[in-house]
Chain A
Amino acid sequence: MGILDNKVAIITGAAGGIGRGTSKLFIDEGAKVVMADIWDEMGEKTAQELGQNAVYVHSDVSEESDIKRMINLALEKFGRLDIVFSNAGNPGPGGAIEDVPTDEFDKTMAIHLRAAFLCMKHSIPIMKKQGSGCFITTSSVAGFQHGFGTLPYSLSKAGIIHLTRIAAVELGIFGIRANAIAPGGIATGIFGQAFGLSRNGAEKVAGLMKGVLAEGQAIRRAGLPEDVANAALFLASDSSSFITGVTLKVDGGLLSGRIPQDPEESQERWLKLMKELDPEDQKIITERGQEGFKKTMEDLKFLKPEIREKIIKRMQKQAARSKET
């Protein structure tokens, strides 16, 4: 008896770390899953491995027609729609407010916030007919505080928190719940993507990120896709039938307070990570690091000269250490 026996779920971003982890867990618990993503190679492979209860569909969630199509597929193939896990995402463009390219802003908002809204918009009539349904949307620690993600990413993740409340209140009477999950530092390909690596390169880095992510929060290990999958399972199950409108943080205590870091140790971990990478990927990360360095240099003009000097000296020392190893 699985917790999700006979339930049908759509998972977007299903080919990424969290998506794969959740697809697998849902299938283990008896669900049928429509896996939606744009990384077709990984998505198809995973769906095949998971067997006949999983089907992959290419879905660009910035396209309303793709969203409609994936929902129709769930009905056609599996006859119902119980759970929609809006999880697709990417880091979005970095930079300060005045530097964020407008079209990239628009695209990031579309993939995260608009897509979550559209998944709801087109699933609600079906769920109302069924008299039951459940939305889970991936928010982020970035939705709560500055410093955990890019501008448009963070804005969408904050918007998702409120969309969740609105959906909960509007839909409760129809037997439909809506909740969100706010992951902290989870070892997935999203970091590699932020560095501009290929999908496969990003996946490799994901494994290596475990070391880097372990020390930033109360619980001294990296978050894993399974941690988010377990939370999604809880929110999809009847155990949480009185829980709606919440955003459940799965952050290892990250938002609860800072853990003082030893800057030397932090650097050790980064160097270790770099050593494991292909020369190609190393080059990309170094270049991005240098861009970041340049940006930081510009930001320094807001500081007093003596402090600026100190910081530059320290950064040069660190750069020299990196070059040595």
Chain B
Amino acid sequence: MGKLDGKAALITGAAGGIGRATSRLFVEEGVKGLVMADIWDEMGEKVAEELGPNVIYIHTDVSQESDITNAINLTIEKFSRLDIVFSNAGNPGPGGGIENIPTDDFDHTIAIHLRAAFLFMKHSIPIMKKQGSGCFITTSSVAAFQHGMGGLPYSLSKAAIIQLTRIAAVELGVFGIRANSIAPGFIATGIFGTGFGLSRDGAEKLAKFMRNSPSNGQAIRRAGLPEDIANTALFLASDSSSFISGITLKVDGGLLSGRIPQDPEEENEEEIWIEMIKDLDLKDRRIMENIVQEENKKFIELLDYFKPYSILISVLVKEMQKIAEQKKIT
């Protein structure tokens, strides 16, 4: 008897770290049907096949309203129901100060995070109202609560998702529909590598490296894992949380609860840097090396993303200093 027996779910960003882990867990918990939606088709199709006959993958660009309605329609076609919608697709978006953000990048980031969450609700609600039940889970972020955890448009969308969640909860409660969000802290997924401009593959390798890195910047001294988010999504999707609606549940290892004083002693940054880039292909390695070039202003912005990974920050800074030193010599 799984917690999700008889239920049909739709997960966006299903080919990324959090999406894959949640898809796996939902299948383990007996979900009747699962539609995995993403734009990373290679990974999405592979995982959907692994997970069995009641899991389908569909290419879905959540900035396109028609892709959204297609994904929803597919779920109804194949599984005759839609019980859980997990709006989780995302990317880091552009960094930089307010006056430097390209407007079209701003628009796109808001579209894939906030507008997409709204559109999934808009098009799922009539179905859920007919069923008399349904459940929305949306991925927010620690970036919604404080400056310095993500780029501007990313943070804005994640903050607005918190309010969208409250609004949906109040509007839809009487129809048996709940709406909640999850605010992950720093979770070892490909989002960081993507932020650096690495290939998907390179980003996944960096994620694997991060899984094993201690995270001394937050109360719980380990990397957040996709499984931590998946477990939370399961709780919010199950009947155990049937009186929980309108909330944003932080899964952040205590990050937002307060700063941890850092040990100023140096780690072996050289070794860690080598470890970090050793599995990357040449192109991705060049990207990482380029990032620590002194002139690369992007690096300074990207430091935000590594907040609890103090060791990784000092590694990158050390590399940067090394390169600056070498330049001075020559």
Contact = CB atoms under 8 A, between A and B. Distances in A.
Contact of B235 (A165, A239, A256, A259): A239
A269 B267 CA distance: 66
Interface string A217-261: 111110110010011011000011111111011111101111100
Interface residues of A, number: 42
A75 interface: no
Given A239-B232, A240-B232, A246-B250, 18 more contacts: A166-B258, A169-B259, A172-B254, A219-B173, A223-B243, A239-B234, A240-B231, A240-B235, A243-B249, A244-B253, A245-B250, A246-B249, A249-B247, A252-B243, A252-B244, A253-B178, A256-B170, A259-B173
Contacts of B220: 172, 177, 241-242, 244
B247 A242 contact: no
A248 B249 contact: yes
Interface of A: 164-166, 168-173, 177, 184, 217-221, 223-224, 227, 230-231, 233-234, 239-246, 248-253, 255-259
Contacts of A223: 243
A248 B251 CA distance: 11
Nearest to A248: B249
Nearest to A217: B173
A258 B169 CA distance: 11
B16 interface: no
A224 B244 CA distance: 11
Contacts of A230: 240-241
Contact of A253 (B219, B246, B251): B246
Contact of A245 (B174, B178, B221, B257): B257
B287 interface: no
Interface string B309-326: 000000000000000000
B144 to A, nearest CB: 14
B300 interface: no
A258 B167 CA distance: 10
Contacts of A172: 218-221, 253-254, 260
A244 B257 contact: yes
Contact of A168 (B165, B246, B257): B257
A231 B249 CA distance: 12
A234 B254 contact: no
B165 to A, nearest CB: 8
Which 8 residue pairs are nearest across A and B when measured between Cβ atoms?
A: A218-B173, A172-B219, A256-B246, A245-B257, A227-B243, A256-B166, A242-B228, A165-B257
25 contacts: A172-B254, A184-B243, A218-B169, A218-B173, A219-B243, A219-B245, A220-B174, A223-B243, A224-B243, A230-B241, A233-B240, A234-B241, A242-B185, A242-B225, A243-B228, A244-B219, A244-B220, A245-B254, A245-B258, A253-B178, A256-B170, A256-B245, A256-B247, A257-B170, A258-B170
Given A223-B243, A230-B241, A242-B251, A169 B170 contact: no
